Amino acid sequence: MNPTPEQVLALNRRSMLKSSSMGIAGAALASLVAGEVRAARPGSFAPSSPAPSSPTVAKPGDLRPRAKNVIFLHMVGGPSQIDLFEHKPLLNERDGQKMPDELWKGLRLAFVRDQPNLFGSPFEFARHGESGIELSRLLPYLAEVVDELTFVKSMHTEQFNHAPAQLMFHTGFGQFGRPSLGSWISYGLGSENENLPSFVVMNTGTIAGAGNSMWGSGFLPTAHQGVEFRTDGDPVLYLSNPQGIDPSRRRRILDSINRLNQERLADVGDPEIATRISQYELAFRMQTAVPELMDFSDEPAYIHKLYGTSPGNTSFANNCLLARRLVERGVRFIQLNDQGWDTHGDVQGGLPPKCRQTDRPIAALIKDLKVRGLLDETLVVFGAEFGRTPMAQGDRGPRSGRDHHKDAYTIWMAGGGVKRGFVYGKTDELGFHIVENPMHVNDFHATLLHLLGIDHEQLTYRYQGRDFRLTDVAGKVARGLFA
């Protein structure tokens, strides 16, 4: 006797009811359910043994979910921490002098070949907020929310070329083939919205050198890869019906497909067909849910003013507002990539326009999330694959550029369990080396997973005979920045 389609679908309905009330605990519950299924023996359709523990279940100690969503802002190319976050008076003082021999010796840089000059920032810095954290004048909006942020001034990575460093930053490994951060989190926690993917990516400008691998699933099941949402053309590839097929016609065709699939299910009994039927229903729901999400003309004027958004545009500001809408809908991991931060040529000319595009909407996002009570459960990360050198590239005085710097750079985080108005880690007086609390990319990943309630050593996937982790064999949780 095969299970009839009715039986299979009844099963679907029952579990859908069960899952519809899932919150953050739902993820753990979902995992428990999957665990039960895993433990179920052939011979019964009912789970038969208690679930194993999952990485999301509370563990003794400090491992508890502090955040449930992540908005990850990747400034592709590597913004200059020296001109944005790192005020270095000594560097300004010694501007134009050759960099010290002891720092130059043995140094490998991507572009600079001759011992370069030190390059003080041409931008003034000032202290802001109660925390008194210093920011350059390029970030007036961020200054308004500086007390919400934790700056990590001691990030370092292993790669000084863009594509490998981007892979490192997102997959923990400088070559292709590993799953990205967002896909690990999707794998670990699942989604809270039945109509949207758990991992969404939006790009402004060209796509970074590492390409789709920055949101790929590597050896994890492909369902965990990031789905690119686009503000130009179809918001998700193949989402829109072709010309001449309106939603009602699509519905009728879909009903025919489902009926035929049910006939087949009754005949051959392969439960994969039941899954296919439910995936077609999900696809149909997505066709409504995604455009509704992407169309923010229903946002009030003050919101547009806050973010600097205008409907119909393709801009980083629009993507920030969309990120908030995605978080509201329970999307787990949202990655915004913004191209254009690779200021080899002219920091003074290149950096201000990028800041004008991004500063206001980023600050707006923090404020908006806070007002809505979402900042506590959302971790916002601002970072890049590496930073920039305190030395000049080129010899054009204040119009010089900066090369890639992998040994010390700055990222910041806000919300979701991190301290407010806090600086973690420190570099030397020239901003060249880290002198306090270094945070390797693996440490950053371990910390981020920890904030989501995941033990980075427990989130593993067996592939080709080995249990892989996002943090490979490294990763130290930086507890010092937890609120």
Partner 1 sequence: MRVKDYSSPMNRHLPLVAALFAAALAVWWPLPGHAEEGKVPTDGVDFARDVRPLLAANCFHCHGPDEQEGGLRLDGREAFFTGGVSGPAVEQGASASSHLIARLRSDDEDQRMPPDADPLSAEQVALVARWIDEGAIWPEGVGDRDVAGAEHWAYRRPQPPERPAVRQTSWPRNEIDTFVLARLEREGLEPSPSAEPATLLRRLYLDLIGLPPSVAEVEAFIADPSPAAFEATVDRLLASPRFGEKWARSWLDLARYADSNGYQADQLREMWAYRDWVIAALNDDMPYDQFTIEQIAGDLLPEATLEQRIATGFHRTPTCNIEAGVDPEENRTNQVVDRVNTTATVWLGTTLDCARCHTHKYDPFTQREYYQLFAYFNHTPLEVKQAEARSVQFDFFGPKMELPLTPEKRRKRAKIEAELAEPRAQLKEAEARALESLADWEAALTAGQVQPSKELPADKIKQLQQVLAKPREEQTAYERSRLEDYFLATWEETRELRATIGRLEAELARHAADTTLVMIEMPEPRETHVFKRGEFLQPGDKVTAGVPDVLHALPEDAEPTRLGLARWLIDPANPLAARVRVNHFWTEIFGRGLVATGGDFGTQGSPPSHPELLDWLALTFMDDGWSTKRTIKRLVMSATYQQSSRMTRKLAERDPENELLARGPRFRLPAETIRDAGLAVSGLLSTKMGGPPVYPPQPPKLWRQTGRGEPVYDESQGEDRFRRGVYVVWRRVAPYPSFVNFDAPDRTRCVVNRPRTNTPMQALTLLNDEAYIEMARALAARLLAFEGPLSDAARIDRAFQMCLARQPSVAERSVLEELLAEERDRLAKDAADVTALTHEAALPEGVERPADAAEWAAWLCVANALLNLDETISKE
Q: Which of residues 177-206 bind partner 1 (CB under 8 A)?
A: 177, 184, 186-199, 205-206
Q: Which of residues 230-249 bind partner 1 (CB under 8 A)?
A: 230, 232-234, 236-246, 249
- The yes or no reply on residue 470 touching partner 1 (CB under 8 A) is no
The DSSP-derived string for 271-308 is: HHHHHHHHHHHHHHHHHHHHHHHH--TTS-HHHHHHHT
The DSSP-derived string for 331-352 is: -SEEEEEEE----SS-HHHHHH
- The yes or no reply on residue 406 touching partner 1 (CB under 8 A) is no
Least separation in angstroms between residue 32's CB and partner 1 is: 8
Angle between helices 271-294 and 247-268 (to 10 degrees): 160
Stretch that binds partner 1, among 54-62, 65-73, 143-151, 348-356 (CB under 8 A): 54-62
Least separation in angstroms between residue 130's CB and partner 1 is: 33
Q: Angle at Cα 81 formed by Cα 386 and Cα 181, nearest 5°?
A: 40
Find the binder of partner 1 among 123, 169, 341, 461 (CB under 8 A).
461
- The yes or no reply on residue 103 touching partner 1 (CB under 8 A) is no
Q: Which of residues 247-306 bind partner 1 (CB under 8 A)?
A: 249-250, 252-254, 256-257, 259-261, 263-264, 267-276, 278-280, 282-283, 286-287
Rounded Cα distance, 196 and 379, in Å: 19
Map residues 70-89 to x or -, x wherever contact with partner 1 holds by CB under 8 A: ------x-------------
Map residues 5-24 to x or -, x wherever contact with partner 1 holds by CB under 8 A: ---x--xxxxxx--xx-x--
Whichever of 90 and 109 has its CB closer to partner 1, that residue is 109
Rounded Cα distance, 383 and 480, in Å: 19
- The yes or no reply on residue 43 touching partner 1 (CB under 8 A) is yes
Stretch that binds partner 1, among 66-74, 219-227, 295-303, 369-377 (CB under 8 A): 219-227
DSSP-assigned beta bridge partners for residue 466:
463
Find the binder of partner 1 among 65, 172, 216, 431 (CB under 8 A).
216
SS3 assignment, position 191: coil
**Which tokens hold the place of 396?**
């054009």
SS3 assignment, position 436: strand
Other beta carbons less than 10 A from residue 368's beta carbon: 20
Least separation in angstroms between residue 124's CB and partner 1 is: 31
